[in-house]
Amino acid sequence: MTVHLATPADFETRIGESLGASDWFTVTQAHLDGFAQLTGDDFWIHVDVARAAREMPQGKTIAHGLFALSLVPRMQREIFHIAKRGRGLNYGTDRVRYTAAMPVGCRLRLHQTVAAAARQGAGTKVTLRCTMEIEGSERPAFVADCIVLFEDAPAA
């Protein structure tokens, strides 16, 4: 269920609250190959299916940590929507911790909680605690504090 907010300032009333979770996303080898090509991170654990079958504990390639982190904007669109807003600017990411491997074929789901929110200029700077769940795993893929500056809607 998507949380609907009227304006970016509404995050200030939700500090400490869970916004919910996204739908499940399945990691495919095509995703990993594309990410490796784009970033140049083509280490064999991500792209060499035959070698991974022989040498990796689960016999599968594993997703790049940064690939999973890059899914946050896509997945958070399923978690919340702001009706009246301007630009959203990526302000940075704090305390990123990768805690479990993500084998190809796994399903991921993003959970977000409002860790902090405060007015800044003509917008609201929001820190979202992001936890990327791996279906069937006790440990998440990562936990990170993602910071976004959501500007107010431009004057009409």
pLDDT tens for each residue of 5-64: 999 999 999 999 999 999 999 999 999 999 999 999 999 999 999 999 999 999 999 999
Give residue 133's domain range: 3-151
- If DSSP codes are grouped into helix, strand and coil, which group holds residue 69? helix
Would 126 be classed as within a structural domain? yes
The CATH number that applies at residue 27 is 3.10.129.10
Would 51 be classed as within a structural domain? yes
- Total domains in the chain come to 1
Would 156 be classed as within a structural domain? no
Would 79 be classed as within a structural domain? yes
Tokens representing 97 are 């911790």
pTM > 0.85? yes
Q: Are 122 and 151 in contact (CB under 8 A)?
A: yes
**Paired sense of beta strands 88-98 and 25-26, if any:** unpaired
